Structure 1
Amino acid sequence: MAAGVVAGVVTDGGSGAVVGPVGGMEVDVGPFGGLREQLLGAAERFGAGPVAEILGGLVEDVDRALREPLEIFPVCHHSPSSATAMARRLREKRPKVVYLELCEDMRPLLDELHNCTLPVALQAFATDLDGFPADWAPLSVVAPITEASAEYQAISYALTTPGVELVLVDRSTDHVFQWEPRGGDDEAAGKGKGKGEGEGEGEEAGLHGDAVGVEIGDLRPRFAELEEHLLHHGKVRHWSEWWDQYVEQPLIDADHDTYRQVLVLIGSLFRRLRPEGSARTTVDEDRERYMWTRMREHLASSGADPADCLYVCGAFHAASRVEEFGLHGATGSFEITPSTATSWQYGLIPSSHSAIEAQFGLAPGSVSIAAATWTKALRRSGLKPFRLGGARTRKTLAKSARPPAEPVPVTDRLSGFLTTAPAPDGLDEQELLGWCVDIVRLARKNGYASSTADAIAVYETSILLAGVRGRRRPTPYDFQDAAVTCIEKDAVPGRRDIARLCEILLGGDRVGEVGYDALPPLARDVLDRLAPLGLDLEKRTIQRALLDLDTDPRLRPCSDLLWILRRLLPDDVVRPIMGSRRLGERAIQESWDLAIGRNMRAVVELGYEGVTLEQVLEQRLRKAVHGPRATAATALAAVEDSLLYLGGRRFTDELGARAVELLAAERTVDDAPEVLRRIRRLLTHYQATAPELPEWCRAFVAAGYAHYCTLLPTAFTDDATGVRQVAAMLGFLLGMESLALSLGCDHTQLELAVQQSHPESPAKVALLWAAQTQLGLLPLDELRRRCDELLDNPLVVPSFPLYLSGFVQALEPAPALASLVVEILSKAFARLPDSVLLPWLPKLITTLKDHAAEMVPVLIREAGRTFPATLPALDSWVPPWSAPTSPAAPTAPVPDGGPAGALLASHPATCDAVAALLGLPPDWPTPAATAPGAAPG
């Protein structure tokens, strides 16, 4: 129906409907003609065409939704008024089919809700993606359910009443991400929601993780200026308070027709005032097409009578204007795309009020307040809600069932609701007094110096705030503000502030629990295998487990399982207090802090990956070594984890063979330090526990020797390659040379690689000298002389710390040089003047800290062996490098060299220069017979 200004209004005597000329056409506006006339008359006074179109469209949307043969029941998520209206309507209508706005592939999970304590969340989870970008993994969707919600009432009714079918009609989990914009507009599919009105507090706020949230009835203005206007004129701080004050409280006791019309009106208002053309608008409309398509398909296949059906959806979708809306809407214009090949896993995870608030952008405490309002409404009205309770409840409901109520003609309830002031609802003095007394008691327990005077002050301030804000009685939000003002004052003495204490008082952050029978097989297997610990692991408290593995060998499998959990789960789930697991170690006693109950979501998600923990770990290790970013270091880490947690030789050899492939394919040496550290540890383990090295170990050493020899000259000259990486390469080549040579490698390859290396940076130059010394290509005395020259050259002294860092890094491939490094440092401190030494010290310290932190302890131990142990001995101590050398033995006479020798002896300067280039002392021995005229030697 087109919306526009109506010039006149007439009544159709046949049907009683109000019709009017709109654009030359007669449009039936149903029983809401009077309201439409009033709204359009008001719009005319504004003189704006869009205002008239919006106001007229609101009435049309309400009339369209209520005329639909398939009854539409609009709801808002976690709304006590929606829950009470739903419970009343279900007992009156007794529908045989309930269509519910929820992901259709989650239907099997609903049968397990009777094993849970609400709130819990339905979850779909996928790690192996096919059809989605790889960087989206893992994908997760949650749909939280609380007892004070219309969807739970509908689910409970359908599952506990014989002959009732529950059909989920919303898009599948796969389509949630199919329709996700690939350009980064997260809001379109629910990402990015949450934390809009207040940050969730505490660990319970993170129970849903970063999953996409799906709920029935996300009813909130999508026009920022409208929400700001409502909050300002409503004299409230956030949207949750506005909704409770102006919608929940007036509708909590409303009849069915009034409730439906008001909710559709609000949904229509928010829909028509939203920004057009956004990605989220497209997703909303596609969801409505999807749901009506599924409902028509079910009606056609089942033959159900639409009069016996009930469609439960958000009020936003009840005011839909898509062509496919209704049983008589357009058909065939919307095609549901097939699901991708992604494998989805389903389960139930614990939820909490704070988790729901954090994910969906609600104010802290709003869901708890809604739960308290629901409980109060049930107590006041005597309404019996539907709850999942097993076979006994089914029999009771079967006996108490009565024929469906006859349809009642739709009448205009909106006009009276919008123009009539609510019935006076005086102050519930007893309730407010109880709140004031209890908050003072809680404040005392949490360290506040509160008294009876504070309770009186909170009482009076609550009434004052309610009056200032135009309310008939104080709401929980007024009470919370008054308590903060009167009690908290300047400081918070404990962990909880007054606002948090008010939330606890008004209902608290209720946390759900998934029952044992509703857990996936892996989670049940974990609880069964940890049963010998004698702890109730489903509790939400942190429990201490003490394991004496020698006294009680039955606990060793528990220890193995706990270490696997430690490897797979976040650190706060299982935390070792005493004990460790490393290669070559065997613990005698262990102590653990276990928080499995409060982190059951993480355990449940492991169940989506496999049946046992060992299977999950094996899959993850295999995926890690075959991933696009896998390196040789990654594969060696996987080999070590396989030895520590799985122990299977076949799988470990498979991972080791993959490590050889990755090492041979690498073109950089960024991970050389990690590779060296891990392969050394693995070789030590096998040499101590196995009769011979595995084939993959021998292949890895041989391949690494050839690989690093090839890359060594480039690494020395490449500025992007650090000194630590080059030192690790040399450590691999020199430390494992004997094993590599026994496997067929050639020592000449290493010598050639060193000789072809020509570094320019000081640290790498020092590293090269150390490698040449280790290989015998550079005498130790010559290396010492070069270091002395560096200290004597004033142009080189400022960069000497860089040379020193290279020498310290050289301790990795050449540990025998530790005494030389100590000697160089000692000479530097002894020779350099204070004007040079003092500015040089900070650079020296930072260089050692940044580039050779792990080698400094080696130097300290060597210095301890070199320097005297007592202070008196220092006075008479002579450094080993300064001790006088013993006199040289007399040299034997040198035979006459003939004319050539006489020529060289007559011009000694040339020979001295050549000797200096070769690093030889220019000492001339005494010849046996000096030629005539020759200069003596």
Structure 2
Amino acid sequence: MTEFDALRTQLREAAAAFADGPDALEGLLLGIVDDVDRAIRERLEIFPVCHHSPASATAMARRLREKQPKVVYLELCEDMAPLLTELRNCRLPVAVQAFASEVDGFPPEWAPLSVVAPITEASAEYQAIAYALDTPGVELVLVDRSSDHVFQWERRRTPPDTRPADPDTAPREEEALHGDAIGVELGDLRPRFAELEEHLLHHGRVRHWSEWWHQYVELPLGDSDHDTYRQVMFLIGSLFRRLAPGDSHRIRVDEDRERYMWTRIREHLATTGGAPEDGLYVCGAFHAASRVAEFGVDGTDTFGISPRSASTWQYGLIPSSHAAIEAQFGLAPGSVSIAATEWAKNVKRSRVKPFRLAGQLGGGKRKKTKALPDPAPALTPSDNLTGFLQRPPVLDRLDEAELLDWSVEVVRAARRNGYLAATADAIAVFETSILLAGMRDRIKPTPYDFQDAAITCLEKDAVPGRRDVRRIVEIMMGGDRLGQVGYDALPPLARDVHDRLAPLKLSLQRRGVQRALLDIASNPELEPCSDLLWMLRYLLPHGAARPIMGQRRLGERPIQESWDLALGTHQRALIELGYEGVSVEQVMEQRLRRSAYDSRSTAATVLAAVEDATLYLRGSRLADELGTRALQVLATERSVDGAPEVLRRVRRLLAFYRTSEPVLPPWIESFVKAGYAHYCTLLPTAFTDEHTSVDQVAAMLGFLFSMEGLALSLGCDRAQLELAVSQSHPEEPAKVALLWSAQVQLGKLTRAELRATCDELLDNPLVLPAYPRYLSGFVHALEPVPGLVDFVVEVVSNAFARLPDHVLLPWLPILITTLRAGGTELAPLLIRESDRIFPSRLAELDEWVPPWLAEDVIPAAPRAQRSRGVSLLAAYPATCDAVANLLCCDATWEGSSGTSGVSLVGRYPDTAKTLGELLSR
């Protein structure tokens, strides 16, 4: 006869009375009792817990002082054991994290892999850890599957959603502390049968599961004895387990975890030769009621543990918060804070002395530890479950002083947050709390009743400030405690960052934004801090290091800078950065190299990596390596999508190397030479391809024309460019205008011919609707041929003067968009040229004649200017000889007298005209 025979008899009678047939319900109820009986009789004491449950923490602290086990087996990833000693250097709550940035054995799209195990002070696992680490002769053994096995047993993960977050549904900063990591918890005790949870919430008259657990489990078990606590938790775990839906994958994972843990326990007992009676197995109540064959120290040894993958795992502690834990595990907002408050009440009421790690941050001064009393003798387990189930619920008397204090405090907090709350509202909250508790069959209002009452009485039409009443109550009940990882527990990279930023004299561990002022001109020793801050800005999320004043450009040295730093707020990101390397420079180099050698990288992205390497790391080794990679990628590209970015970055790099280096690096010379041939080859196709935009073709021409001098000096042939332009036959008006501009630059088309062509277009009524597209092409042409800026001003002015409004007005937004896109280069050119041509005073506008019209009215002026230029050049033969040498011409002076006239003037009339104007000034 066993201790639970009487309970079995009662349940069998109840099943026969309430069910149509006794088989199904009786099997369920008696199976639950069998699970409880089996767990109670196990030689290795099983201690069932629920994650972040104050009742579990209180019972754990009490049992550890009574039993004083020599070994504690804990349901936690076994590879996280070395990190637990660092908990004493942290302010709880924190999370133990396993992180793998480079995966081997998993799909690449899963990377990075991250597993977190949050730990709070009001949790049973922290009590077990503190007892084992601070008690001599006690061993702590983690027996759950490793972080690698968590992903081995995981179903195919969906890639993270890259869409921009909705600001209304995006998690708060405190909720996002764990990122997208997989959370492992000690005791996932929640119904997996949706109808069962709905039934419990409906009949318990509560809104969510956290409130049900607090009302019907936490409060009754808060003062219960050890045997009652264990049997009730076994009962709940078995009930939820037997009523779980038939998800084969989840059931298999749960059972494999139980087989894994019992296999590790038996291995440890066999290795150490310890007695099971001297140990304590701490696991979730759901796993304590297990029915696998490997259950118990006398179970079978048929489970084979697969080897870990070749992925490299990094381990560390990251800050956590109550809100992050609630968001991670689907708990109600504020439930963990309420649990922390309940834990403090349990400790005070039961006078149980909790365990705390020596030197724990945030715990105040630690009292001297006293030796533990002798362990209590083991008692024969008895049936406490029957009495607990038959006992009517204990109705706590109303604590009017506590409720009144809550009501006054919430009104005071609401006033601080902009609510129009008065004393009458405090009375209303007090009475409404009692009313809601009575409607829910409770005498004493719970924190959840009080929260509903405060929302009902204080929230009127809108939330005046940043916090609603629900959030105010959460803060008042204990607040969203934010954890912090101490300096000694940080990875080497994070400690190095704190050490190198020490000259700023800021408390970088503190949360919030701090302003750092760097007067580098007066304090040159602050320049390394500036270099580090710019790298952190590149590597960390937005807001961790934000420049207010100052910028970093190629070839410039910082003078004064101002920064907003929030490294304490973004401590998790800084810690995860430490998983990638031991210094910020190493991580920077790895990320740049990874970006450059990615299979999807383009020449533009690789050049961006070259520029960042030069800008932040200042060395030439990595820049030269990545530059060679850019040359390789350019040779394999068959599109010109990145041509605008390639042009901008090559120009910046060339300007930097020409001013800072004695000679150009070999890679950039090769890049210019290969780019010249590459874009010449693709130019005819780009002109006719409808998928190639105008700005991309303009960027190609800009590369060819601006790099032409360097490319020709490196051995390129200009005939290749002339041939590519002659083979281009675009049909789109904007690209046709680009082609005309290129022909003017190459000397294949004169400005007079181009002006005449534009006039013909304006005179043709059939072409007028498309004429603005030609103008857009001319505006884009300023990129490759900036010398045409005066002509562009001319054609745009003519368009404003002659185009009808129904054609001109729809084109203006296109013009503004074009100038905005290339505003840094194109708009200043047009503005300066317009300022030179147009009159500066309004009164002069009536008599002003545009230069291009003045030339048409007085056709003899160019001939007179040419004759004047010829005479001036003949009068200054040395100047003409110098021009001849610049043009690589060996012509000699000719004329009837041998000293008047020169053959160069006839060959280059435009040059003679320009020189004549200069000399006449």
CA distance in 2, matches of 1:766, 1:805: 8
Matched, 1:17 2:2: yes
Q: Quote how far apart the aligned CAs of 1:398 are.
A: 7.4
Q: Quote how far apart the aligned CAs of 1:274 are.
A: 2.0
SS in 1 for 2:175: helix
Matched, 1:354 2:323: yes
Change (3 A) 1:121 1:39: farther
Q: Structure 1, residues 505-547: CA drift from partner, whole Å, max 9, x if none?
A: 1100111111111111111111111111111111113211111
Change (3 A) 1:376 1:517: same
CA distance in 2, matches of 1:490, 1:350: 36
CA distance in 2, matches of 1:199, 1:671: 36
Kept in 2: contact 1:39–1:56 (CA 8 A):
no
1:674-689 to 2 correspondence within 5 Å?
674-689=645-660
Counterpart position of 1:923 = none
Q: TM-score, normalised by structure 1?
A: 0.87
Counterpart position of 2:220 = 250
Change (3 A) 1:341 1:871: same
Q: 1:742 aligns with which of 668, 693, 713?
A: 713
2:8 maps to amino acid: G
Q: 2:280 aligns with which of 283, 286, 310?
A: 310
Q: Quote how far apart the aligned CAs of 1:214 are.
A: 1.0
Q: Quote how far apart the aligned CAs of 1:305 are.
A: 0.9
| Stretch moving more, 677-686 or 58-67 | 58-67
Kept in 2: contact 1:770–1:814 (CA 8 A):
yes
Counterpart position of 1:715 = 686
Matched, 1:622 2:596: no
1:483-632 to 2 correspondence within 5 Å?
483-632=454-603
Kept in 2: contact 1:351–1:512 (CA 8 A):
yes
1:17 maps to amino acid: T
Kept in 2: contact 1:484–1:499 (CA 8 A):
yes
2:156 maps to amino acid: R
Unmatched segments (≥5 aa) in structure 1: 1-15, 19-28, 891-937
Matched, 1:211 2:181: yes
| Stretch moving more, 831-840 or 820-829 | 831-840
Change (3 A) 1:130 1:397: same
SS in 2 for 1:484: helix
| Stretch moving more, 821-830 or 251-260 | 821-830
1:872 maps to amino acid: A
Matched, 1:40 2:15: yes
CA distance in 1, matches of 2:405, 2:23: 52
| Stretch moving more, 277-286 or 598-607 | 277-286
Matched, 1:885 2:885: no
Q: 1:865 aligns with which of 836, 840, 843?
A: 836
Q: Quote how far apart the aligned CAs of 1:394 are.
A: 12
CA distance in 2, matches of 1:710, 1:863: 36
Kept in 2: contact 1:39–1:55 (CA 8 A):
no
1:326-725 to 2 correspondence within 5 Å?
326-332=296-302, 334-389=303-358, 399-403=371-375, 405-725=376-696
SS in 1 for 2:547: strand
Kept in 2: contact 1:541–1:595 (CA 8 A):
yes
Matched, 1:86 2:90: no
Q: 2:82 aligns with which of 108, 130, 133?
A: 108
Q: Quote how far apart the aligned CAs of 1:623 are.
A: 1.4
Q: Quote how far apart the aligned CAs of 1:125 are.
A: 0.9
Q: Quote how far apart the aligned CAs of 1:119 are.
A: 0.5
Change (3 A) 1:178 1:677: same
Change (3 A) 1:724 1:843: closer
Kept in 2: contact 1:805–1:851 (CA 8 A):
no
Change (3 A) 1:846 1:532: closer
Q: Quote how far apart the aligned CAs of 1:224 are.
A: 2.0
Counterpart position of 1:810 = 781
Matched, 1:783 2:783: no
Q: Quote how far apart the aligned CAs of 1:106 are.
A: 0.2
Change (3 A) 1:399 1:171: same
1:530 maps to amino acid: L
Q: Quote how far apart the aligned CAs of 1:17 are.
A: 2.5
SS in 1 for 2:282: strand
Unmatched segments (≥5 aa) in structure 2: 865-921
Q: 2:204 aligns with which of 234, 238, 244?
A: 234
Counterpart position of 2:242 = 272
Change (3 A) 1:42 1:514: farther
CA distance in 2, matches of 1:35, 1:87: 34
Kept in 2: contact 1:622–1:655 (CA 8 A):
yes
Matched, 1:727 2:698: yes
| Stretch moving more, 149-158 or 781-790 | 781-790
CA distance in 1, matches of 2:734, 2:238: 72
Kept in 2: contact 1:160–1:394 (CA 8 A):
no
Kept in 2: contact 1:171–1:290 (CA 8 A):
yes
CA distance in 2, matches of 1:48, 1:874: 106
Q: Quote how far apart the aligned CAs of 1:843 are.
A: 5.7
Counterpart position of 2:151 = 177
CA distance in 1, matches of 2:253, 2:292: 12
1:386 maps to amino acid: F
SS in 2 for 1:147: coil
Report % sequence identity.
Answer: 68
Change (3 A) 1:435 1:201: farther
SS in 1 for 2:95: strand
CA distance in 2, matches of 1:574, 1:839: 44
SS in 2 for 1:364: coil
1:886 maps to amino acid: P
Q: Quote how far apart the aligned CAs of 1:440 are.
A: 1.7
Counterpart position of 1:800 = 771
Q: Structure 1, residues 46-89: CA drift from partner, whole Å, max 9, x if none?
A: 44754343333222222222222221111111000110111111
Change (3 A) 1:466 1:247: same
Change (3 A) 1:446 1:835: closer
Kept in 1: contact 2:15–2:22 (CA 8 A):
no
Q: Structure 1, residues 94-135: CA drift from partner, whole Å, max 9, x if none?
A: 111111111100000001111111101101111111111112
Matched, 1:759 2:744: no
